[in-house]
Amino acid sequence: MFRFIKSSRLRKRSDFLRIQSSARCIHTPHFILLVGAHQAAKPAHSLSPPPNRRLGVVTTRKLGNAVQRNRIKRICRECFRQWPSFLPAGTDLVVIARKGADQLSTNGVKIEWQAVRNRLEQQARWALSSR
């Protein structure tokens, strides 16, 4: 059983706002993907492991009731978990769901994200280099 651990989550509003204000956007038919560099709270020691990739999912009430919104979040988290090489270490990803995202399966989300993978990796490298 997979548990979406705290170190893999974007949890604070300030993290979401930082990424939304400074990150690069990539649009797909059902999602807006925002990629930014992970900003460590403490200075990293030379012996510490690189920071994890982190995910935050935003769903609005326009997308449907709580059941539909939570389904979108679960599917996005599952794609993120199944695809560890999706982003370089030290990057944060905010996924903003659009209309129709609740109709997608896990495979559908993966296919949509695969279509923009090169652009995502390029934006992630840019975000990491501009830290």
Share of the chain above pLDDT 70, in %: 89
Give, in order, the Cα–Cα distances in Å from 106 to each of 9, 15, 131: 19, 26, 32
- Burial of 14 from C-beta contacts in 10 A (0-12 / 13-18 / 19+): exposed
- Domain range annotation of the chain: 9-38+50-129
For residue 114, give the DSSP letter: H
CATH topology of domain 9-38+50-129: Ribosomal Protein S5; domain 2 (3.30.230)
Query: What span, in angstroms and rounded, lies between the C-alpha atoms of 32 and 48?
Result: 32
The mean per-residue pLDDT over the stretch 2-8 comes to 76
* pLDDT tier, 41 (very low <50, low <70, confident <90, very high otherwise): low
Query: What span, in angstroms and rounded, lies between the C-alpha atoms of 120 and 30?
Result: 15
Write the pLDDT tens digit of every residue in 6-29. 888 888 999 899 888 887 899 999
Whole-model pTM: value is 0.84
